[in-house]
Structure 1
Amino acid sequence: MSNTLKTGALLGLLTGLLVLIGGYFGGSQGMSIAFVMAFLMNFGAYWFSDRIVLAMYRAQPVSEAEAPELHRIVQGLTMRAHMPMPRLYIIPTDALNAFATGRDPEHAAVAATQGIVRVLNEEELEGVLAHELAHVRNRDTLISTIAATLAGVIMMLARMAMWMPYFGGGGSRDNEDRGGGAIGFLFLALLAPIAATLIQLAISRSREFQADETGAGLTHKPYALAAALQKLEVGANRLPLEASPATSHLFIVNPIRGNALFKLFSTHPPIEERIARLQALVV
């Protein structure tokens, strides 16, 4: 199954999980309310997510005069990919990372940290920027935003479910008569957010592999992106970027560090596997 089909199936699972939760709370009316919540949050994310995330990391727009190398590399890549030129930003930090955002190629932005521009050589920087443009080209920025929004709605409903038993709330009377009320609350409060997180992670990880491959195909230098990923991983361990878990999936390497259990729930696939796949593309 292709990554696109997998992503569609996983988004369907997230939506289905949301419908089940809405149905448990209020039957068909609850389903409608859940859909309305998801629609409103996705509407806001669609139109404003790029501005929000750029502001979160204090990203500053840079002109061609201010960042000539960055502009030259991206201009060359967009011409090769037949894409519009995105807005370019610099994040004022020595941490090594980059991300892309925007609802479509015509409204895209690519942001790189000061550290990544300074540390990477030209081929490595080109590989990173090609990876980010691949996310834009593949509509990953929009898909990731929708997945994060749906998962956020599910987690919000799960938090509500944790408190409802104390206020006499619950599922339908039939469910409670069958003893299903307690089981339903347990699912909502504990299992639903875990399921939503795992689905979101699966979407994010599959898109990272695809962006690596697309970016490497754009530059014809998979070894350069592999070398860049190695440097970025080492840099992220030495100087992690202060990032929100809600936006960590946007970055080329996970800015949040943790133990082995944390890596299991990371928004990114293991860096060793990404490098191995890129090295396999070298002919």
Structure 2
Amino acid sequence: MNQPIYRRKTYKIKPEMLATFNDFFHTYLYPNQMAHGAKLVGRWVNEARDEITAIWEYNSMDHYKSIEEKIRATDLHHKAFLKRQELGRLYEESSQEFLTSTSSPDTYHHPQHIVSVCGYITNEKGEVLLVRNEHRADTMEMPGGQVEEGETLAQAVHREVLEETGAEISLTGVTGIYQNIRRGIICVVFRGKYQSGELRPAVGETSEVIFAELTKETINSYITKNNFRNRALDAMNPSYIPYEAFDVRPYELVSRFEVKQEVN
């Protein structure tokens, strides 16, 4: 098994450019790296606010080179180039170096995972809410994203769907749990119904939002990635599983979805 490598990227900036640089990073650099399999270990700014350091993890040097090659061919990379021309001098200089760990991955850290959610949301016609993510423009998918600290899974679905599409929804239950082993991401899929709100894309996140007549026969023309397609297929004819959110010390039930059969 290859030992992971770490890329330390350092940018010298003018302090007044910090907010602009951060916005550029989160809109263009971060999503493109993550979409192709890189992991962001962390990102820091010094006390003088004139130097930013980011450390990325890759499976190997070949993995890093492969990701860089794929990124250069993406539409998001081209948009980043145009944005840098518009902004002018984003940073004064940059440098990078590659590091390897002096210990095994488990020596200092417990395993870390990301929990995400998405929603199979239908309207009164039975059409399904789909989005096109700006850094995954080759497929449509169900709206969703990462669960924030302190949120229940249900709260995260409501927030993510609203942010990405403008839709207010109600939820009926959990239809599946999916694990991306390589990237350490666990996704919980909810099924729900559209309630209100004018559909609109989210700037810097989604480029298209639609309701589509999704069936086993039409799904391939909308959802091209196997992992996204499987989640939607499972949610079409759901077998719900229990979900409960609670607090402790003292115990408090926050929300619960029972196992039930939805009547279409």
Query: Greater RCO between the two (CA within 8 Å, min separation 6)?
Result: 1
TM above 0.5, one fold?
no
TM-score, structure 1 as length reference: 0.22
